[in-house]
Amino acid sequence: MCKDGLVELWNAPLAPGPVTGTVALPGSKSITNRAYILAAQASSASTLTNTLRSRDTDLMARGLTALGVDVNFLTDTTVAVTGGALHGAAVDCGLAGTVMRFLPPLAAGARGSSRFDGDPQARIRPLGTVLDALRGLGARIDGDGLPFTMHGEGPIRGGTVTIDASASSQFVSGLLLSGPSFAEGVTVHHDGKPVPSMPHIEMTVDMLRAAGADVDTAEPNTWRVAPGGLHAHDWTVEPDLSNATVFLAAAAITGGAVTVPHWNPQSTQPGVQFADILAEMGAEVTHADGALTGRGTGGLHGVDWDLRDIGELTPTVAALAALADTPSHLRGIAHLRGHETDRLAALTAEISALGGHCTETEDGLRIEPATLHGGLWHSYADHRMATAGAILGLVTTGVQVEDIATTAKTMPDFPAMWEGLLGLRDGASS
């Protein structure tokens, strides 16, 4: 948040003792925004339950509304979505990758011109791959990144396109999600280094099929979506397991125990794999009654882990690694240089500024044991950088996190949830 033009600093609270509690998390951003796009293509109403209400998901809802989709909030987290004829609109993408990469393929089928723009940081995020692919599928677009204007004349042709999705799995998901509305459907072939965050593409495919799409994934690095209308589907959104990792980390570093209800071990969310990382680092992880509990055991050990498929967990894992008693090597995450910020450079700078030993490698980070001290932790308008600073502040006196409000991207009230878990505020945990 800002006051008199200055970003306020948040004094990251020290843990008064072992962190214990149960954390009920809001819905997954990834599932919520995919469900929005799919529901927008159905002719009758779909109901989305336990949706995330955050900046990113509100931007998606407002963008769809502007384009002509009926988005009706029945409660704060339950929304009815009915598709309809799309028309040109002005769309604010904020800093949301899912909005800037998922909405343009849908808007390509609108009648009229749509102008897309976003935050200053969003203008440097990779987007040309999606726009060039849409041009190859029949769309007419002015611009190669934000801001750009799309000139729609109704459903685009679709067909086959080859892209390099090594910078983001969202390039593939964005094209697939609207593929049923293209006249010829869509076939996306990836040619390049391995696609990161493959669980997110699996999530996209599973959700497309649930909505009635015919999806063929038999050929490696190729995804085919047949043309045809989607049917209405009532979605119940899982809790955001990537956000859950922050609270589980709090238990691990303080010798406490945190339980996350409604944890689906078969989830396609990348966060589900954090349980294995936590156990490898020395914590105790148990599943019972549909919940996951992480317990600290008095020490943390470094890991050598390929995070290519689960790169969004890197800031949390890096924060734990900075407190571990042996070195860590986090690999397969060169693509994080194109996220909300260059996360590899940001983590290196901020961990080092607190006295840690963190260096960049060609495709990741190497973090060695060191004694940390207090100081300013910059968030870079990146929600996961902000929560990483909060984790380190649990056991490091004097950590101040710049712009903690950026966590509203996926957790609307993170400071209250965090302080509630620590027993510093009522009502955030039970």
| pLDDT value of position 82 | 96
pTM (predicted TM-score): 0.89
The predicted-structure confidence for 148-194, as pLDDT tens digits, reads as follows 999 999 999 999 999 999 999 999 999 999 999 999 999 999 999 99
Confidence of residue 3 (pLDDT cuts 50, 70, 90): very low
Q: Which residue has the higher pLDDT, 125 or 379?
A: 379
> DSSP 3-state assignment of 35?
helix
Q: Specify the range with the lowest mean pLDDT, choosing from 2-11, 26-35, 232-241, 401-410.
A: 2-11
Instruction: Supply the mean pLDDT for the chain.
Output: 95
Distances (CA, A) of 117 to 113, 149, 407: 13, 9, 21
Does residue 220 surpass a pLDDT of 80?
yes
- Is 178 labelled as part of a ligand binding site? no
| pLDDT value of position 4 | 37
From the list 184, 219, 284, 312, the catalytic residue is 312
* Contacts by residues 276-279 (CB-CB < 8 Å, ≥ 24 positions apart): 277/303, 277/305, 277/313, 277/317, 278/248, 278/249, 278/252
- Is 242 labelled as part of a ligand binding site? no
The predicted-structure confidence for 46-100, as pLDDT tens digits, reads as follows 999 999 999 999 999 999 999 999 999 999 999 999 998 999 999 999 999 999 9
Domains of the chain: 9-26+240-422 (3.65.10.10), 29-213 (3.65.10.10)
- Is 429 labelled as part of a ligand binding site? no
- Is 312 labelled as part of a ligand binding site? yes
Whether a cis peptide bond, with omega within 30° of 0, leads into 147 is yes
| pLDDT value of position 430 | 35
Kindly give the pairing relationship between strand 399-402 and strand 9-11.
antiparallel
Determine the Cα–Cα distance for residues 95 and 407; give it in Å rounded to an integer.
12
Confidence of residue 1 (pLDDT cuts 50, 70, 90): very low
Determine the Cα–Cα distance for residues 407 and 325; give it in Å rounded to an integer.
29
Confidence of residue 6 (pLDDT cuts 50, 70, 90): low
How does DSSP assign 337-362, residue by residue?
A: GGSSS-HHHHHHHHHHHTT-EEEEET
| pLDDT value of position 5 | 46
Determine the Cα–Cα distance for residues 411 and 419; give it in Å rounded to an integer.
14
- Is 170 labelled as part of a ligand binding site? yes
The predicted-structure confidence for 344-365, as pLDDT tens digits, reads as follows 999 999 999 999 999 999 999 9
What percent of the chain is predicted at pLDDT more than 70?
Answer: 97
- Is 169 labelled as part of a ligand binding site? yes
- Is 97 labelled as part of a ligand binding site? yes
The predicted-structure confidence for 224-280, as pLDDT tens digits, reads as follows 999 998 999 999 999 999 999 999 999 999 999 999 999 999 999 999 999 999 999
Task: Name the helix (H) or strand (E) containing 363.
Answer: none
- Is 366 labelled as part of a ligand binding site? no
Does residue 424 surpass a pLDDT of 60?
yes
Nearest alpha carbon to residue 285 among 303, 297, 271, 269: 297
Place of tokens 């996951």: 292
Does residue 428 surpass a pLDDT of 50?
no
| pLDDT value of position 297 | 96
What residues contact 413, with CB distance under 8 A and at least 6 apart?
428
What percent of the chain is predicted at pLDDT more than 90?
Answer: 92
For residues 423-429, give the mean pLDDT: 61
Task: Copy the structure tokens of residue 385.
Answer: 């950088």
The region, left, alpha or beta by phi > 0 then psi within -120 to 50, assigned to residue 56 is: alpha
Determine the Cα–Cα distance for residues 63 and 226; give it in Å rounded to an integer.
25
- Is 30 labelled as part of a ligand binding site? yes
Determine the Cα–Cα distance for residues 354 and 367; give it in Å rounded to an integer.
13
Does residue 340 have an active-site annotation?
no
Contact 99, 33 (CB under 8 A): yes
